[in-house]
Amino acid sequence: MPDTPRFNARVDRMQPSATLAMKSRASALRREGHPVVALSAGEPDFDTPAAISNAGIQAIEEGFTNYTENPGMQSLRETISDKFERDNGLSYSPEQILCSNGAKQSIALAIHVLCDAGDEVLIPAPYWVSYPEMTRFAGATPRVVSTTPEQQYRLTPEQLDNAITEDTRLLILCSPSNPTGSVYTRAELEALAEVLRANDHVYVLSDEIYEHVVFDAEHIAVAGLPGLYDRTITINGFSKAFAMTGWRLGYMAGPEPIVSAAGKVQGQLTSAPSSISQRAGQAALTMDMQPVYDMVAAFNERRDYVLSRLNDLDGITCPTPEGAFYLFPDVSDLFEQTAPDGTPIESSNDLCMYLLEQHHVALVPGEAFGDPNGLRISYASSMEDLETALDRIATGVEALS
Ligand SMILES: Cc1ncc(COP(=O)(O)O)c(C=O)c1O
C-alpha cells in the first residue's frame, strides 16, 4: 500500500459532505436488502419538465455540443438578465452574470474571489453544509451565528450587529433556507440591510436557489434592498425549481468586477457549463411555469402532511417552514433516551443512526448543518414514501424510553 500522500493543508481542513455520507450508508443498507426510505436527499423527485429536456435533446441533435463562451452563452445571460428584471425588479447586464456548473460552483467562486486568509465569513446556522467548508478551502474563517426554532431560524439584526467585526468580509444568507425551509420577510431583511449599511466593508452572498419554492411567503431578493445592490452577489440555479440537479447549471449575478474575477477563475478551472444544459436552462426561464407551480403545490401538500405527523410526536418541535423542501425539527428532548436494544441516544447523530439502522429511514443529523439539536427531513419524496417514513419514525421515536 502506498503511503497517504501529503495533501494541501486546505484540503485536510475540509470535512466530507455529510449528506452524501448518509446517502451512501442508506445505499449500502439497500444493497443488503433493507427497504430503506431516504428522506436525506436535497433534490426534487420529479423529472425535468419536458419543455426543458426537449431543448437539451434539440441541442444535441443540432450538434450544439461545443464549448460556449466561458461566462455562458450571451443569449442565456440575456435571458437570465430578463429573469432578474421580471421576477426581482433587478437590473443586471449580461456582463454581470456568470453561468457555472451548478450554484455550488457559483458559491465557491464567489467566496474564493472575495475572501482571503484573515477574512471572516458570517454564516447563520443551521446552514447549508458547504458554506463553512468552502470558506475554509478559500483560507478564510467561518463565523457561525446560531439561530433557534423560536426565532424561526432567522438571523436578527442584533445578532448580525454583534457578530460583525472589522475582519468580516462576507455574510451568507439563504432564503428560502436549506436546511430549515425558513423564509425571511421583507421587514426582517430590511432590518438586516440597515445593519449592513452601517458596515460597508461587508459583502453579502444571497443564495436564492429555492426562490420559486415558497408556500405561504413571498421571496425577496436581497440585492433589491436599499443600499445592497453594489455589494450583493446573488446566487441562483436550475436544480431545485426546475428539477434539473443532474444538468449542473447555476449562476451568479453581482457587481461586474466581482463577476469578472470569478469568470477569470472559472476560465482556468472548469470553463463554461455544458452547452446542452445551457440551452435547456434557457428553455426553463422562458417556458410556461405551470410544471413548476405543480411541483411547488405537491411540495406544499407534503410539507403539511409531514409537519402534522411530526407535531403528533412527543419530544419533537418543528417551526412551520415556508419554502424549499425541508423541515428541521428540534429533537433535543429525545436525547438521553435509550433504544429498546439498549443503544443510548445522546445526539442527533445517534438518533439518525438509530432510525436508519433499526427503522430504515435516512435523515441527516443536525451536526452537519451546525445545529446539533435538530435534524433535516427532506420531503422531496412521494407521498407513499413519506407515509412509510413517518410511520417508521413514529414507531422508532415512541419506542424510546
Ligand atoms: C442552499 C443550496 N445552495 C446551493 C445548492 C447547489 O445547487 P446546484 O445543484 O445548483 O449546485 C444547493 C443544493 O443542494 C442548496 O441546497
pLDDT (tens digit, 9 = 90+) per residue, 117-153?
999 999 999 999 999 999 999 999 999 999 999 999 9
Pick the residue whose CA is nearest to atom 14 on ligand 1.
Answer: 42
Distance 104 CA to ligand 1 centre (A): 5
The predicted-structure confidence for 172-192, as pLDDT tens digits, reads as follows 999 999 999 999 999 999 999
Cα 225 from Cα 219, distance rounded (Å): 12
pLDDT reported for residue 19: 67
The crossing angle, in degrees rounded to 10, of helices 348-359 and 18-31 is 20
pLDDT reported for residue 256: 98
The crossing angle, in degrees rounded to 10, of helices 130-137 and 103-114 is 40
| Whether residue 18 has pLDDT greater than 80 | no
Percent of the chain with pLDDT over 70: 99
pLDDT reported for residue 248: 98
Pick the residue whose CA is nearest to atom 13 on ligand 1.
Answer: 42
Indicate the top mutation candidate among 104, 129, 153 to test ligand 1's pocket, ranked by most ligand atoms within 8 A of CB.
Answer: 104
Confidence of residue 105 (pLDDT cuts 50, 70, 90): very high
- Cα torsion angle, 192, 321, 377, 19, sign: negative
Burial of 380 (0-12, 13-18, 19+ CB in 10 A): buried
Counting from 1 in the atom list of ligand 1, the atom nearest the Cα of 101 is 11
The predicted-structure confidence for 263-315, as pLDDT tens digits, reads as follows 999 999 999 999 999 999 999 999 999 999 999 999 999 999 999 999 999 99
Instruction: Say whether 344 sits in a helix, a strand or coil.
Output: strand
Distance 341 CA to ligand 1 centre (A): 38
Counting from 1 in the atom list of ligand 1, the atom nearest the Cα of 106 is 11
Q: Which three cell numbers stand for residue 339?
A: 433504544
Q: Write down all domains in the chain, each with its CATH number in brackets.
A: 9-47+291-398 (3.90.1150.10), 64-286 (3.40.640.10)
pTM (predicted TM-score): 0.96
Q: Identify residue 248 by its one-letter amino acid code.
A: R
Distance 103 CA to ligand 1 centre (A): 6
- Pairs from 159-167 (Cβ < 8 Å, separation ≥ 24): 159/124, 160/122, 160/192, 160/195, 160/196, 161/195, 163/122, 164/122, 164/195, 164/199, 164/202, 165/120, 166/201, 167/118, 167/119, 167/120, 167/141
The predicted-structure confidence for 24-82, as pLDDT tens digits, reads as follows 788 899 999 999 999 988 889 999 999 999 999 999 999 999 999 999 999 999 999 99
- Pairs from 256-262 (Cβ < 8 Å, separation ≥ 24): 256/93, 256/95, 256/96, 258/110, 258/113, 258/114, 258/233, 259/71, 259/95, 259/96, 259/97, 259/98, 259/233, 260/95, 261/113, 262/98, 262/106, 262/109, 262/110, 262/112, 262/113
Q: Which three cell numbers stand for residue 256?
A: 461586474
Counting from 1 in the atom list of ligand 1, the atom nearest the Cα of 104 is 11
- β 120-125/141-146 pair status: parallel
Counting from 1 in the atom list of ligand 1, the atom nearest the Cα of 19 is 14
| Whether residue 1 has pLDDT greater than 60 | no
pLDDT reported for residue 137: 95
In the 8-state DSSP scheme, what is residue 258? Answer: H
Cα 56 from Cα 284, distance rounded (Å): 11
